[in-house]
Amino acid sequence: MFEAIIHVIRFELIRTMTVARVMIWIAFCCFPALLAAALNYQAPDDVPQEIWIFICYLLVPQIGSMLGLLLWATSAVGSEIEAQTWIHLSMRPRGRITLALGKYIVAVLWTASYCIVSSVLVSFLSGIEDKVEGAFALAATSLCAAIAYAAIYLLIGAVFFRRATIVAVIFSLVIEGLGAWIPATINQFTISYRLRTLMTEWSDMGQIINHRDVPFLFGDEGVFFTMLIIVSYTVIVLGIACYLITKREYPVQSDT
Amino acid sequence: MNTQNSHASILELVHVSRFYGTVIGLGDANLDLAPGAYGLVGPNGSGKTTFINLITGVLAPSIGDVQVFGQNPHQDRSVLSRIGLCPASDILYPNVSALQWVEYLTGLHGFTRQEAYERAVKALTQVGMEPNMHRPIGSYSLGMRQRSKLAQAIAHDPELLILDEPFNGLDPIARHELTEFLNNWVDQGKSLILASHILHEVEAITTSFLLIHGGRILASGDATEVRAMLRGFPVEVKISGQGLSILAEALSQEAWIRGMDFNDNGNTLQVRVKDKGAFQARLLELSRLEGVVISSLESPDGSLESAFDLLLSVHRGQEAIEYQ
């Protein structure tokens, strides 16, 4: 099965080598960096560090990672149905699960790759003082975001294969956008809350802001526990997505 | 319906039905097929693709049991490595080549990259795609895409090849080449299920048929068996000429006449006949009557297509087949 997953990854990467997709990759890399540079140019010199870190966090790990995954992970099943290629994959003994895992990995690779480059650019073009630490914190948080959100979007794509992107956008806005900022226990069930915790741990932010002052903003569970939650969350969601993709009857073609 | 019982079944359907809401995709299908080549024949929308989706495990039956090579393809997907499917749907991967696509799909059967590559090249060569296999699929003609689809279906060397409307959109040369290829496939002792709504294309490859219509398998067997099955069904004969009313009056006395109609301002008599032999003998006698002149006589030509048309007309609830 590992060999088959490699086949999927290779094939999907070949398919990404179009002018349009490369341009999207470059745009996703540069857009947050340009915004950060514009803000840095306009902002007064005394903007607190935690504000800069927070802005950069929103630009890359939070919003930037989601954009790429909306393109890649949500369409994992729907694009194959639309291209009428689902039937070919369904005819391979482990075709569906290898497709799901292969596309998940490609979504993470594609998103993480531009997020890492973008993290470096954003860190150096923004007002973050410790550029290297900032770039590392943003890149590492982005990688975690890609791993977790790719699984969620894959599940959304498996359930709502016809309107996957719309549902994923609604989920992102309502749950990860609004729900994650509600000052109640419910926000601890969001990935955004865990990512903010990691960001504060890996940057100066944790030393500047006390968790007890803003408990809804990030947790104090530490990196290991937070990573454990993210990985567990990802494995469970990815498992459900793979189960659905393997077992569900998706429409293949009109009858003849 | 049992066909060619001398070997273990490649396909067995036991009371299989598949519903799409309140619509019947396939109704109470019972089938036991020995290895061999079969034409799955039926008009558009008759349920051929539902049948194929059920036997490939893409769909689960609502009722009943499907076994392919003794395994349920929906529950035990390992049996899919013994099946190759060339579906009716087109390939919509414009920016990859046929070689990349076939190599990828072959790799999903569990082959290493090298094995998948070699098998893809071999399969594409077999279907005559070698000169074009490095070009992007988006630049292919419909015939080239059909060949590419066929290549992905045979690259893992399956025992059973299933093709859904493979002749659609092919030019006469490509049709001939595909027919040759499929005849070679059958000659190698491999099994084939060929779904088509065009009977003569199927007849060029196999003489064993599954006739499907309205989600029901109406008949299975070879051409002789199908004709034997139809013996006794009324057929419609069209008689043109003069003095047809005399003819009608005389024929109305016969027990094997099922009905008569005058058409074309009384110049044509359509007769539904149960016993064609008796009808022909009696018509010869009646043609000698004074005032009776028979200028033309149209009746079923005895071809397999006529036989299938008759089966379909019986299934539709018509008393007899109608001929143009």
> If you ran DSSP here, which 8-state letter would residue B289 be given?
S
The rounded distance, in Å, linking the Cα atoms of B290 and B288 is: 6
Q: Do A6 and B113 touch (CB under 8 A)?
A: yes
* Structure confidence at residue B43 as a pLDDT band (50, 70, 90): confident
* Predicted pLDDT of residue A148: 96
Are B70 and B9 within 8 A, CB to CB? yes
**Minimal CA separation from A252 to chain B, in Å:** 8
| Phi and psi angles of residue B320, each rounded to the nearest 5 degrees, phi first | -155, 165
Cα–Cα distance between A67 and A141 in angstroms, integer?
Answer: 15
Q: Is B43 helix (H, G, I), strand (E, B) or coil?
A: coil
Residue A251 neighbours by CB distance under 10 Å: 12
Q: What is the pLDDT of residue B323?
A: 39
In b/e form, how buried is each residue of A175-205, taking b as 16+ CB within 10 angstroms? bbbebbeeeeeebeebbbbbbbbbbbbbbbb
**Residue owning tokens 């048929």:** B209
- Beta-bridge partner residues of B20: B23
Sequence-ordered list of residues with C-beta below 8 angstroms from that of B127, at least 6 positions apart, any chain: B147, B148, B150, B151, B154, B181
**How far A8 CA sits from the closest chain B CA (Å)?**
7
Q: Beta strand B160-164 with B83-86: parallel, antiparallel or unpaired? A: parallel
Burial, A247: exposed, middle or buried (Cβ in 10 Å; 0-12, 13-18, 19+)? exposed
Helix (H) or strand (E) holding B298: strand B293-298
Query: Which of A119, A124, A121 lies closest to A145 in space, CA to CA?
Result: A119
Which residue among A15, A88, A254 places its CB closest to the CB of B96? A15
Summarised one tens digit per residue, pLDDT across range B250-308 is 888 888 887 888 877 778 888 888 777 788 888 888 888 778 888 887 766 555 566 66
- Taking an 8 Å cut-off on Cβ atoms, the answer to whether A1 and B110 are in contact is yes
% of chain B at pLDDT higher than 70: 87
pLDDT band at B322 (very low <50, low <70, confident <90, very high): very low
Please identify which residue in the block is written with the tokens 């039956």.
B61
d(C-alpha A78, C-alpha A157), whole Å = 7
Q: Can you point out the beta strands (E) in A90-189?
A: none
Q: What is the pLDDT of residues B231-251, one digit of tens each?
A: 666 677 888 888 888 888 888
**Predicted confidence band of residue B321 (pLDDT cuts 50, 70, 90):** very low
Residues in chain B: 324
How many Cβ contacts (< 8 angstroms) between chains A and B?
A: 109
Continuous H helices in chain B:
48-55, 98-107, 113-126, 142-154, 172-187, 199-203, 223-230, 244-251, 276-286, 304-315
Kindly tell me if the per-residue pLDDT of B319 is higher than 50. no
Q: How much is the pLDDT for A220?
A: 81
**Which of B59, B77, B93 is facing A85, going by the closest CB pair?**
B93
Distance, in angstroms, between B227 CA and closest chain A CA? 25
Is the per-residue pLDDT at B3 higher than 60?
no
Taking only the tens place, the pLDDT of each residue in B136-161 is 998 988 888 989 999 999 999 999 99
Q: How far apart are the first and last CA of chain B?
A: 32
Task: Answer whether residue B117 shows pLDDT above 90.
Answer: yes
Is residue A232 within a helix (H) or strand (E), and if so which, with residue range?
Answer: helix A223-247
Radius of gyration of chain B from its Cα atoms, rounded to whole angstroms: 24
User: Which of B53, B92, B109 lies at the smallest CB-CB distance from A85?
Assistant: B92
What span, in angstroms and rounded, lies between the C-alpha atoms of A53 and A217? 13
Whether residue B310 is predicted with pLDDT greater than 70 in this model: the reply is no
Q: Cα–Cα–Cα angle for A102, A107, A108, nearest 5°?
A: 100
Is A98 within 8 Å of B109 when comparing Cβ atoms?
no
DSSP 8-state secondary structure symbol assigned to residue B90: P
**Reported ipTM:** 0.83
Question: In angstroms, rounded to a whole number, what is the distance separating the alpha carbons of residues B116 and B36?
Answer: 27
For position B234, what pLDDT does the model report? 67
CB B108 within 8 A of CB A4: yes
Residue B7, pLDDT > 80, answer no
Residue of A79, A97, A254, A255 to mutate, interface with B, max B Cβ within 10 Å: A255
Interstrand relation of B208-213 and B216-222 (parallel, antiparallel or unpaired): antiparallel
> Which among B41, B108, B168 is the top mutation candidate for probing chain A, defined by the most A β-carbons within 10 Å of its own β-carbon?
B108
CB contact at 8 A, A177 and A63? no
Contact B105 A92 (CB under 8 A): yes
User: Between the CA of residue B1 and those of A95, B4, B31, B42, what are the distances in Å?
Assistant: 33, 10, 5, 17
Chain A residue numbers with beta carbons less than 8 Å from the beta carbon of B77 are: 93-94
Question: Where is pLDDT greater, at A114 or B226?
Answer: A114
Nearest to B80 among A17, A93, A254 (CB): A93
Contact B154, B79 (CB under 8 A): no
Distance in angstroms (rounded) separating the CA atoms of residues B102 and B123: 9
Name which of A110, A236, A251, A10 is nearest B53 in CA terms. Answer: A251
Residue ranges in chain A whose pLDDT is less than 50: 256
Tokens 């009858």 identify what position?
A255
Subunit contact A8:B80, Cβ cutoff 8 A: no
Which is it for the CA torsion B34, B27, B234, B267, positive or negative? Answer: negative
pLDDT for B100 beyond 90: yes
User: Do residues B300 and B231 lie in contact, with contact meaning Cβ atoms separated by under 8 Å?
Assistant: no
Residues 6+ apart with CB under 8 A from A174: none
Chain B hits for A11, CB-CB cut-off 8 Å, are 96, 100-101, 104
Q: In what order do the strands lie in the sheet with B191-196?
A: B83-86, B160-164, B191-196, B37-41, B208-213, B216-222
Does position B57 have pLDDT exceeding 70, yes or no?
yes
Query: Mind telling me how many Å the CA of B173 is from chain A's nearest CA?
Result: 24
**Residues of chain A positioned with their CB less than 8 A from the CB of B120:** none
Is residue B13 within 8 A of residue B63, CB to CB? The reply is no
Alpha-carbon gap, residue B187 to B36, rounded angstroms: 10
